[in-house]
Structure 1
Amino acid sequence: MTSPDDEALARLRELLQIPTVSHADESLIDWQPFDDFLDAVERLYPRVHEALEREVVDGHSLLYRWAGADVADPLVLMAHLDVVPVVAEEWEHPPFAADVVGDGAEATVHARGAIDDKGALVAILEAVERLVVEGFSPARDVYLSFGHNEETAGGGARAIVALLAERGVRPGLVLDEGGAVVDGVVPGISVTTAMVGVAERGVMTVRLTAAEAGGHASTPPRMPATVRLARAVDRLHRHPFPVRMTPPARALFATLAPHTRQPLRWVLGHLAITGPMVARALTLAGAETNAMVRTTAVATELSGAPGENVLATTASASINIRLLTGDSIAGALAHVRRAVADPEVEITLRHGSEPSPVSPWRGEQWRRIATAVADELGHEVVTTPYIQLGASDSRWFTVISDHVYRFTPFHLTRAERDALHSHNERIRVDVWLRGIGFYRALIAAS
């Protein structure tokens, strides 16, 4: 006889096996898996669909409303059903088989989307299904917002926000994917932390383009377009954005300071004095801590000649820039122009969004999250604010709510975090099951 946890795991595996892969070029998307996913959710969670109102928005995004005793200040729980593409040959287990490997506490589900972000989506549905079965009725309205293209355009979430705004809905608390429960993410601090994003960095793409006449590769000019482009990329790399300690970063270290030993406790407790030194040290401590204290820029896509023996008439590079709270698109463009310092390299903004507003890390909404963390994930876990390093669909909700947070209630190792958007994405079964309890507690407290 199967247990409720076994049944929940079976539903997770079934939904992970549906390859809802999104692409920036939507003409490349196979929409049948998305239709299959929506149908499977409706079949697997019958009580959710009896108790909640369901709408399909923008083709494949899902919006649910669970009517509460009060329509004011509703709770919005977010996730997304699309996943990034895979290179199947790189995986130890087939990326859409959702194989369970190991036993007991070591049992792990291997699949694209296990963490990003079907794990959260299914955990939310499991929490709601169980509460409905128990006869629970929320004090406030509860919305479930599941976007279908978070990994690309985010159009589904934007359409949901527009719909809610049109209806006059102003959420009291929005929770999307983001930080996790982690160990040792900050050097010198060993306490387990629940990293709750109170803001997220802006994101923009800049295109660097160098041009030349072209011709045969056997007679290259003194400064080929590819060399000019390479020099521009190198200059930008050697002139990074300035280091700065933002208010959320200061709050992070102030929260963690009491859990450290001297002299680090004094250093983190006196950031008004030590802030610049700490910020510089964080740039050397790793990629994650570096991204906490500066706007980052990195060349991603490169293009040049169409053949190996042909001079490129144009050579170009896409620069992905993540804007730290307090920085701006205009300021970042000015920095890129100063760093490249070459009028022969064209610099164009492809697209961009400014950093999100900062949500408060005090007050009722914050306490609801922190209490659910302590009660379901461990009283030893310290809930702390931080700046979300990646972009999420939650950024669209900041126009209708002042309390938008980013937290995924899973205790993840560094290796598990590194597998996001890479091969061998996976989540431990017991970690995922505890996440269901978090969402259940948060809904019950709402």
Structure 2
Amino acid sequence: MTQDAQQAHAGPAPSARPEDDPAVAALRALVRVPTVSRRAPDTVEPGVFARLHDELATHFPLLHEHLELVRVGGDALLFRWRGTGGGPAVVLMAHLDVVPVDGEAPWTHPAFDAVVADSPEGRAVWGRGTLDDKGSVVGVCAAVERLLAEGFTPARDVWLSFGSDEEVSGTTAQAAVDHLRDAGVAPWFVLDEGGAVAGGAFPGVTTPMAVVGVSEKGTTLFEVRATGRGGHSSTPARNGPTARVARAVLAIDRAPMPARLPAPAIELFRRLAPHAPAPLRVALAAAGGRLTPLLTRVLAAAGPEAAALTRTTLATTMLSGSPAPNVIASTATAVVNARILVGDTVASVHEHLRRVVGDHAEVSVLEPGEPSPVSPYADDPAFALLETTTAEVFPEAVPTPYVMMAATDSRHFTAICERVYRFAPFPMSKAQREAIHSYDERLTVEGLLRGVDWYAALLRGLPA
């Protein structure tokens, strides 16, 4: 490669505007391709993922020239970057698909226009997928592109796994796992989306926390169902299916699962303690000791994010009943989305729901999903590498383990790897985190570029 070509792929000159960086251009190009995944594959826009693949090849030519590409699960991509050493490989993950956009939501800028404009956090790329999860796709690819331009080769094999149906709990990540297992690959660690350099994550704490998911809650769907005779709306009977399901939903809302603190949450609060307001500092520092019950109660009342750290959550998300306004339903149902905390199980949550609902309705499991195993973080070399990389790029942040509340494709990789971590190396305000799967999703230009730096530092730091 010529010197001019190397400079072109290494990024803009120091005097150039950050928003002119090639990584920003790549993110904008990917956001403009509406890769909305859907549970019915035939409803996905034809050719949309092929267009995204073309954009990746255009913006990251060295990656596509030097890495081996394996097609898995249709539209997913699996790249292999051969390293110089013989140690276990590393897998860096992200996903190419996004959730749909609510046409009635008040987006400041159109969701798929990828506008660069001011935001409360600074200049940002606005659009669906900037945070979830095309920012991570670009962060990984831009870091690899930069290192290839420098002539760098990692100390061990690096696999890049980009799924295409994460948002619908699809099969492409499992297909990647199957390929790696068949190839005899047992990764040293796997890194997917998840935590972030989170600002305003805890009341009264201004220091950002670089939260690395060492486990994730299980996601299980339960159905609450009541049946009856139904009939004409002019002659209603008391306690019909709709009324019984309504009582069941209210009973579930009034009876949350017991609150407690798993070990990663205790470690998070111990690391958070020096940065907390004085009234909470002692309680946080004593997490895991005699003050834990008090701390648990405080967190349960501190807002949705803090409360979700302490228990399995139960959210009623879908209701159905009569097919017509003048018909009494013969069957009424509610879907309960349970996010199961480490230490609970699908069976224990099922039993809780049946006990709470009583004879109002029947409760059954629609889609089971157990919590992921807890990956090592205490005195562990892989987790230590994540910590030192974060300290290098985000010295203002406190790295810490935590239990991730949402589900990721990485849960499938626990079958072949004991170290599965979840961290997107981008600064995210509380408002940004709330925009994920909502409106006004955005990633700052500075945050994206620092994320590229983080991935590059991680790859440089891999031991032989």
**What is aligned with 1:36?**
51
Structure-to-structure mapping, 1:52-131, within 5 angstroms: 52-90=67-105, 91-102=107-118, 106-131=122-147
**What is aligned with 1:398?**
414
**What is aligned with 1:412?**
428
Q: Does 1:143 find its partner at 2:152?
A: no
| Higher mean C-alpha deviation, range 151-160 or range 133-142 | 151-160
Q: Does 1:203 find its partner at 2:212?
A: no
Aligned mates of 1:443, 1:276 — CA distance in 2: 41
What are the superposed Cα offsets for residues 256-311 of structure 1, whole Å, 9 maximum, x if unpaired? Answer: 22334545332222221111111111111011111101000011011011111111
Which amino acid is 1:269 matched to?
A
What are the superposed Cα offsets for residues 141-199 of structure 1, whole Å, 9 maximum, x if unpaired? Answer: 01101000001123111110111011111111111000111223123433221011110
Which amino acid is 2:317 matched to?
T
Structure-to-structure mapping, 1:117-196, within 5 angstroms: 117-196=133-212
Which amino acid is 2:251 matched to?
R
Q: CA deviation at 1:255?
A: 1.4
Using the size of structure 2 for normalisation, the TM-score is 0.93
SS at match of 2:166: coil
Q: Does 1:373 find its partner at 2:373?
A: no
Aligned mates of 2:460, 2:124 — CA distance in 1: 28
Query: Cα gap change, 1:310/1:103 in structure 2, threshold over 3 Å: closer, same or farther?
Result: closer
**What is aligned with 2:342?**
325
- Asked if structure 2 preserves the Cα contact closer than 8 Å seen for 1:79 and 1:121, the reply is yes
- Asked if structure 2 preserves the Cα contact closer than 8 Å seen for 1:114 and 1:426, the reply is yes
Aligned mates of 1:292, 1:13 — CA distance in 2: 34
Q: Does 1:3 find its partner at 2:18?
A: no
Q: CA deviation at 1:353?
A: 1.2
Structure-to-structure mapping, 1:266-277, within 5 angstroms: 266-271=282-287, 272-277=289-294
Which amino acid is 2:132 matched to?
D
What are the superposed Cα offsets for residues 112-131 of structure 1, whole Å, 9 maximum, x if unpaired? Answer: 00000001101110000010
Q: CA deviation at 1:89?
A: 3.8
Using the size of structure 1 for normalisation, the TM-score is 0.96
Alpha-carbon RMSD = 1.7
| Higher mean C-alpha deviation, range 62-71 or range 139-148 | 62-71
Unmatched 5+ stretches in structure 2: 1-7
**What is aligned with 1:382?**
398
Aligned mates of 1:397, 1:372 — CA distance in 2: 23
**What is aligned with 2:3?**
none
What are the superposed Cα offsets for residues 41-91 of structure 1, whole Å, 9 maximum, x if unpaired? Answer: 122211001111011111011101100012432111100000000023422
Which amino acid is 1:11 matched to?
A
Q: 2:446 aligned to 423, 430, 441, which one? A: 430
Aligned mates of 2:181, 2:447 — CA distance in 1: 35
Aligned mates of 2:25, 2:148 — CA distance in 1: 20
Q: Does 1:301 find its partner at 2:318?
A: yes
| Higher mean C-alpha deviation, range 17-26 or range 326-335 | 17-26
Count residues with an aligned counterpart.
444
- Asked if structure 2 preserves the Cα contact closer than 8 Å seen for 1:72 and 1:170, the reply is no
- Asked if structure 2 preserves the Cα contact closer than 8 Å seen for 1:55 and 1:63, the reply is yes
What are the superposed Cα offsets for residues 369-405 of structure 1, whole Å, 9 maximum, x if unpaired? Answer: 111111112x221101110010001101111111111
Structure-to-structure mapping, 1:193-342, within 5 angstroms: 193-260=209-276, 262-271=278-287, 272-342=289-359
Q: Does 1:48 find its partner at 2:57?
A: no
Aligned mates of 2:204, 2:435 — CA distance in 1: 24
| Higher mean C-alpha deviation, range 158-167 or range 3-12 | 3-12
Q: 1:14 aligned to 13, 29, 51, which one? A: 29
- Asked if structure 1 preserves the Cα contact closer than 8 Å seen for 2:121 and 2:429, the reply is no
Aligned mates of 2:319, 2:226 — CA distance in 1: 12
Which amino acid is 1:122 matched to?
V
Which amino acid is 1:183 matched to?
G
Unmatched 5+ stretches in structure 1: none
Which amino acid is 2:118 matched to?
G
Aligned mates of 2:437, 2:458 — CA distance in 1: 28
- Asked if structure 1 preserves the Cα contact closer than 8 Å seen for 2:354 and 2:362, the reply is no
